[in-house]
Amino acid sequence: MFTLQTLPACDQAFDDGVGKVAGFSLHAGVAARADQRQKLERLCRYISRPAISEKRLSVTANGNVRYQLKTPYRDGTTHVIFEPLDFIARLAALVPKPRVNLTRFHGVFAPNSRYRARVTPGKRGKGGPHTTMADPEERTPAERRAAMTWAQRLKRVFGIDIETCPACGGAMRIIACIEDPDVIEKMLAHLDAKVAEPDAPQRPPCRAPPPRGPPPPRGLFDETG
């Protein structure tokens, strides 16, 4: 990466509430009271902003990508210049992997924290009243209501509802969950062979409905015609 340092280097320390350790920076100098809804909304908009600003992005005469920093670095860097493929690779690194939780909790809010049950509204966590680590037969009614099945999680996370029939909309019952790769391969091979049979009934291809034109005016045709 090529940088442009158009300002002198600055060795001033971070402001209050801002720190940098082991390559990670943390800004904890902004707070909002419960009644400051506009400030909270502005803070949420800032957190959810895109990775780059298109207004400060441009292309140089030789085809490289130039990005102007909103705030100069301490060493005086105001612009960074990338080759096109390098710039795309850095943007691709920001795309989250499939099926990865985008919300991470740390500290007392982490899933394995023993204090999580004390600080969360649902009282969930290790040692909490709704912990799901016990045997299913030994759970209390409150614990059973708190736990979610994998089908419910599939619907909640990915929007895939396997408990509703796509044809009639009725309720479907889960008979079994096949996880063995060999069994899955045999079942898929059997279905492929059955579809390939010439005598297997096949649905006709879908076609569009006939066009609806205006009805013919009355009185132009007789009974025979």
Is the same domain home to 110 and 177?
no
Q: Two tokens at 119? A: 């600080």
Is the same domain home to 117 and 63?
no
Is the same domain home to 37 and 104?
no
Q: Do the domain assignments include residue 75?
A: yes
pLDDT, mean over the chain = 78
Q: Which element (helix H / strand E) includes 79? A: strand 77-82
**Average pLDDT of the segment spanning 64-93:** 90
Q: Are 27 and 21 in contact (CB under 8 A)?
A: no
* pLDDT tens-place string over residues 176-188: 888 888 999 999 8
Is the same domain home to 74 and 134?
no
- The single-letter DSSP state of residue 117 is H
Is the same domain home to 137 and 152?
no
157: three-class secondary structure by DSSP: helix
pTM exceeds 0.75: no
Residue 225 pLDDT: 45
Domain that holds residue 134: 98-147
Q: How far apart are CA 87 and CA 66, in angstroms?
A: 10
130 bridge partner residues: none
Q: Which residue has the higher pLDDT, 64 or 96?
A: 64
Is the same domain home to 8 and 75?
yes
Q: Which residue has the higher pLDDT, 196 or 158?
A: 158
Residue 14 pLDDT: 46
* pLDDT tens-place string over residues 88-113: 999 998 888 887 777 778 888 888 88
pLDDT band, very low/low/confident/very high, at 217 (cuts 50, 70, 90): low
Q: Do the domain assignments include residue 175?
A: yes
Q: Two tokens at 80? A: 């960074």
Which residue shows structure tokens 């908009």?
A: 45
Is the same domain home to 79 and 7?
yes
Q: Do the domain assignments include residue 218?
A: no
Q: How far apart are CA 26 and CA 32, in angstroms?
A: 17
* pLDDT tens-place string over residues 150-178: 888 888 888 888 888 888 888 888 888 88
Residue 88 pLDDT: 92
CB-count exposure of residue 68 (10 Å: 0-12, 13-18, 19+): middle
Torsions phi, psi for 46 (to 5 deg): -70, -40
* The one-letter amino acid at 135: D
Which residue shows structure tokens 């720190």?
A: 19
Q: Which element (helix H / strand E) includes 222? A: none
Domain count of the fold of the chain: 3
193: three-class secondary structure by DSSP: helix
Q: Do the domain assignments include residue 211?
A: no
